[in-house]
Structure formats: structure tokens, C-alpha cells
Structure 1
Amino acid sequence: MANDGSAQNAVWPMPKFRFEVDLGDGLNNVAFQEVSGLDVKSQIIEYRNSNSKLFSTEKMPGLAKYGNVTMKRGIFVNDNTFWDWHAQVSMNTIKRRTVIIKLLDETGQITMQWQLHNAWPTKITSTDLKSDGNEIAIDTIEIAHEQLIITNGS
């Protein structure tokens, strides 16, 4: 008989549709349609020990490399939040922020969060415009960051 979840201590994976984003600088609980790109990769350092009898290299972990995070949200009247943040970018001068992405449970409590340190916008893509379309207007922002820290709970 399959477990229908009614048993006590039943554990289920978290759904991914309930989340909120704090962009820092007083921009809390910003509603987004989609967040993607929360990844990290360790670069590989290949090294051959001079007295190794094996005719191959050893592989060691190198620097961590973080991918850019992409966020999409609807366009609202008189809301230029993305554009204002991107306008602050000039030659090596940008106000970097800590961006926090929170995954929430059914009661609205934080179950997991991703902190992006020293984040700044690298690219903004505005919506396409079509006279025969009926979709909502979506802005996309791509954010670079220098560190990703994952924590559980609130």
C-alpha cells in the first residue's frame, strides 16, 4: 500500500512556487515570476607530481565560480527599480548589495534561503511588445555575485 502522506512524520519535498526576494537597499519581498541560475562550480587544477609513477595528472579543487542569477518579474506602472539599480553601474563603481532569495513553506515561514553577496546587475532585458499579444509585460534582470551561501530555516 502506498503512503498517502497521512502518517505522522511524513516528509515531502518542498514545492518551488512560493518564494520571495529581498534585493537589499530597502527593497524587501519583491515579487518575481522566476529565479534561475543558483549554481556554483569548482574549477579544476590539474597537477602532475614530479615523482609520480602514474602517467597522468592529479585533479584538485580550485577557485569557486558562481553563475549569474536571472530573475523575471512583471512590469508595474512607475516602477523602474531594475533600471535605477543598473544606472548606478559605471567603470568599477557600483553599490553592491546582498540579495536574499527565500523559499517559503505553506505557512509563509522560511525553509531555505540563498544569499548572494556583492551582487550587482549585469544585464536587464525589457519585454517585447506585440500589438496582437495578450501576455503580461516581463522584465528580466541578470545579477552577478561573488559568493552564494545557503542556509536552512529562519
Structure 2
Amino acid sequence: MAGEAQDNNWPLPKFYFKVDLGDQTDVPFQEVSGLEVETQVVEYRAGNSPVFSVIKMPGIAKVGNVTLKKGIFAKDNKFWDWYSTIKLNTIKRSTVVIKLLDEGGNPTMVWTLNNAWPVKIQGTDLKSEGNEVAVETLEIACETLTVANA
């Protein structure tokens, strides 16, 4: 009704965020996707079970790859340099922190990717008639993903 107090509890907008890649803080990304964790289902039925169906138990947890997109800047090859350090089972692993910010610039939710390393870098497509910003894509794998509320 008119005159009642407004509810101040609103969902957070997703456009204001910061990304820290190990020793590189506040890297300006355009998009972050793939923040997901999945647990595999283990189905089991004992041979002497009187119930003719399986039971389902949690199995191994799996963290998906995270995709980050950003504009290409002149003389900025940090991602390519990081990717080029990959050797057989040796790579510089980093902690990646993704922060969703409120209107004051304070973190409200924080995703932490532990032991992250690049698995794929994709350069921009080139068009002679295009007028878009050149965007590169970085896909990283990590061992664990934690979520915290600030």
C-alpha cells in the first residue's frame, strides 16, 4: 500500500567486480564465467538389499574451469607469458580472487580459486570492417573454489 516502508533487501547487481590474479591486483576484466562446483553421484546397491533401487551417495567434487575476458592493451602479454611457463607437470600456480562489489566498492561476495593456472588463451578475432574492442579470453583451471561473504 502507499506509504509503507520499502524493503531494502535487493539482489546484488553483477556488473561491479574486481579480479586479483596472484601478484596482479585489480586486473580489468569484462566478463567472468564458470564459477561452478559439481559433486559426482555414486550409485550403489548391496546384493542383499531388499529394496530394488540404488542409493545415491556424494562422490568426488569437481571444480569447473573459469573463463575470463578482457580487452587487449598494447604491450600487455602477461597472460601469454604465464601460459608459456607451462612445462610437463610444472606451472606457476596462483590464487585468483574474484570479488563482487557493492555500490561503495566493498566486497560482498568473494570467490577464491586455489592453485589456478591457465589452460587456454584465445586471442581476438580480427575483422577489417569491425569496430569492436579487441578482447582476449583466458581459461583457468583450479583445484578448489571457495565462496565467502564479506
Q: Taking structure 1 as the reference length, what is the TM-score of the superposition?
A: 0.93
Q: 134, 140, 144: which one pairs with 2:137?
A: 140
Distance 2:95 2:3 in 1: 41
Secondary structure at the counterpart of residue 28 of structure 1: strand
Distance 2:63 2:2 in 1: 40
Distance 2:100 2:53 in 1: 44
Runs of 4+ in 1 over 3 A off after TM superposition: 1-4
Secondary structure at the counterpart of residue 85 of structure 1: helix
Distance 1:136 1:35 in 2: 17
Unaligned 5+ runs, structure 2: none
Q: 78, 99, 102: which one pairs with 1:102?
A: 99
Corresponding position of 2:82: 85
Corresponding position of 1:22: 20
Specify the code of the residue in structure 1 equivalent to 2:12: M
Specify the code of the residue in structure 2 equivalent to 1:63: I
Distance 1:86 1:57, change over 3 A: same
Distance 1:39 1:49 in 2: 32
- Residue 56 of structure 1 deviates from its aligned partner by 1.5
Distance 1:135 1:90 in 2: 35
More strand by share: 2
Distance 2:93 2:15 in 1: 27
Distance 1:129 1:93, change over 3 A: same
- 1:41-120 counterparts in 2 under 5 A? 41-120=38-117
Q: 4, 28, 32: which one pairs with 2:29?
A: 32
C-alpha RMSD over aligned residues = 1.6
- Residue 50 of structure 1 deviates from its aligned partner by 2.8
Secondary structure at the counterpart of residue 120 of structure 2: strand
Q: Percent identity?
A: 59
Q: Taking structure 2 as the reference length, what is the TM-score of the superposition?
A: 0.95
